[in-house]
């Protein structure tokens, strides 16, 4: 199992980090961002499907609310009708296409964490362990040890200024706010609000314990996801449309008797004229 893990995830990510570090002038931070872009591109088809499901769920919210009101006292019937609506609308939130992108992120995070830790090794033991995972390309061996400084960060250490935890929280909150579906009940609204707050807090706390290189990956991945999502589904609840707040113009007939009143009068005059002409013909 460990050999499979190394071949499929750890070694490709680790070697990609070293290669991009060489190509980008020795900047390991830029190498992390480059690998993040590649990972997001590879996962894009699954992410796109997940975004489509989220978009469909948003359009089904009014019908879900109607079902809740209709079957308020029958939870079993309500559950059946909800799943039926999900199937008919092609928006099952528990489908593999919706869950798989989230599940794939976790092993990638672990592999990135291990790759950053091993790539920034400075001790002889750490460099020996790193050499075992590098592909047999001569320039890769000459590239190590790598430079761990990036902006204000030492990528193998936590952020001493707490900037990366703040960026992690802000970026994740924005993405979760964009993905939020309209709540169908006050209870659901409370749960959505808690999730939109608790998940970013949890990841921000994790960045206080892990190397800041992993935080760079999280923030870069989330920002790229925000940009991609804005092109597919828009900004969602984050920037709601204000067009709906404008009052519709009043119908012309309701604004007064300027245009409506003359019509009956004209009809009456026309009727009198036809009657007078008929009387003259009879005479």
Query: DSSP H helical segments within 71-162, as ranges?
Result: 75-89, 96-119, 124-133, 138-143
**Higher local confidence (pLDDT), 137 or 180:** 137
Give the global pTM: 0.73
How many helices and strands, by DSSP H and E, does the chain display? 12, 2
pLDDT category of residue 249 using cuts at 50, 70 and 90: very low
Distance CA 26, CA 48 (A): 33
Work out the pLDDT band at 14, boundaries 50, 70, 90: very high
Residue owning tokens 């309500």: 78
Distance (Å, rounded) from C-alpha 171 to C-alpha 165? 10
Alpha-carbon Rg for the chain in angstroms: 31
């Amino acid at each position: 199992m460990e050999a499979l893990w190394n071949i499929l995830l750890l070694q490709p990510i680790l070697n990609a980090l070293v290669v991009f570090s060489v190509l980008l002038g020795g900047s390991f931070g830029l190498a992390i961002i480059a690998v993040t872009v590649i990972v997001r591109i590879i996962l894009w088809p699954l992410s796109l499907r997940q975004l489509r499901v989220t978009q469909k769920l948003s359009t089904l919210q009014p019908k879900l609310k109607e079902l809740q009101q209709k079957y308020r006292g029958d939870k079993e019937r309500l559950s059946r009708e909800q799943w039926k609506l999900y199937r008919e609308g092609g928006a099952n939130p528990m489908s593999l296409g919706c869950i798989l992108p989230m599940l794939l992120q976790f092993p990638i995070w672990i592999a990135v964490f291990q790759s950053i830790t091993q790539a920034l090794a400075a001790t002889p033991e750490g460099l020996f362990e790193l050499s075992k995972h590098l592909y047999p390309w001569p320039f890769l061996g000459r590239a190590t040890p790598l430079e761990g400084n990036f902006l204000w960060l030492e990528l193998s250490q936590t952020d001493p200024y707490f900037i990366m935890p703040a960026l992690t929280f802000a970026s994740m909150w924005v993405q979760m706010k964009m993905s939020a579906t309209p709540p169908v009940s006050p209870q659901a609204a409370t749960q959505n609000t808690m999730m939109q707050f608790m998940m970013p807090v949890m990841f921000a706390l994790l960045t206080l314990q892990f190397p800041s290189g992993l935080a760079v990956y999280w923030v870069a991945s989330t920002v790229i996801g925000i940009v991609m999502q804005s092109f597919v589904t828009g900004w969602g609840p984050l920037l709601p449309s204000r067009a709906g707040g404008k009052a519709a113009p009043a119908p012309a007939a309701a604004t007064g008797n300027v245009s409506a009143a003359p019509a009956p009068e004209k009809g009456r005059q026309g009727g009198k004229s036809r009657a007078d002409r008929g009387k003259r013909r009879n005479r």
